[in-house]
Amino acid sequence: MSSFVIEASGLSKSFGSTHALAGVDLSVRTGESVAIMGASGSGKTTLLHCLAGITRPDAGTVAFQSGGAGRVDVTALSERERSRLRREAFGFVFQQGLLIPELTAVENVALALMLNGMPRARAEEYGRGWLAALGLAGMEERRIGQLSGGQAQRVAIARAQVTGASVVFADEPTGALDSVTSADVMGALIDSTVGQGRTLVVVTHDAAVAGRCSRIVDMRDGRVVGERVAA
């Protein structure tokens, strides 16, 4: 029985009169892949951001079980401590990769390590390794605009992995891709996270994407309304 890497309880978050989260409990085990599904506006992104320490909930707690530092109460951390936790322990993949267009593929990946203090040459060496692992050998020096949508998402996945993140959060990572490329990118995302003993939490509208995960959490109106085993 593996342990929980993230445990959220009683999460509520409002924006004005909108109750984006209205009491969510969700625990995620180490090495598990969880898909969060639900209609537009049901609170998926808000939940992901609370779990990842990007947004602080109005009520409720998020605990992260870190390898080194034991159990961390994410909701009690300062802005600065949360930002450090995100840099060191978490990886992120978004719909549009949020890559820096002026930088090459390898520079985009290396940047994540350089922000953690690694010298450029070493960071780029690691970056090249991850790009190769994601099937992008030979494309290291291309700028993002010179890559296809699926290739750019693989760069984003490499960037999310390169720091050794124990949990990767993805919000509609295949939302801008066709179904074949989407299956491809999702395969790469699962292999490079769960396949390496890491944990994946992914928001998606796509049943095929969710079907690749070990568990599906359904949301409606800021609440978890159901859980299913996918595979």
Ligand X SMILES: Nc1ncnc2c1ncn2[C@@H]1O[C@H](COP(=O)(O)OP(=O)(O)OP(=O)(O)O)[C@@H](O)[C@H]1O
Q: What is the DSSP letter of 56?
A: -
Residue 96 within binding range of ligand X, rule CB under 6 A: no
In whole angstroms, give the CA distance from residue 190 to residue 82. 25
Both tokens of residue 54? 């990007």
Burial class (CB in 10 A: 0-12, 13-18, 19+), 124: buried
Residue ranges in 19-58 that form contacts with Mg ion under rule CB under 5 A: 45
Least distance from C-beta 46 to ligand X, angstroms? 3
Burial class (CB in 10 A: 0-12, 13-18, 19+), 151: buried
Least distance from C-beta 226 to Mg ion, angstroms? 19
The site partner of 204 among ligand X, Mg ion, none (C-beta below 5 to 8 Å per kind) is none
Residue 174 within binding range of Mg ion, rule CB under 5 A: no
Both tokens of residue 155? 């760069």
Residue 42 within binding range of ligand X, rule CB under 6 A: yes
Residue 175 within binding range of ligand X, rule CB under 6 A: no
Least distance from C-beta 62 to Mg ion, angstroms? 18
Least distance from C-beta 113 to Mg ion, angstroms? 28
In whole angstroms, give the CA distance from residue 16 to residue 196. 41
Could you list the residues that contact Mg ion (CB under 5 A)?
45
Could you list the residues that contact ligand X (CB under 6 A)?
15, 18, 20, 38, 40-46
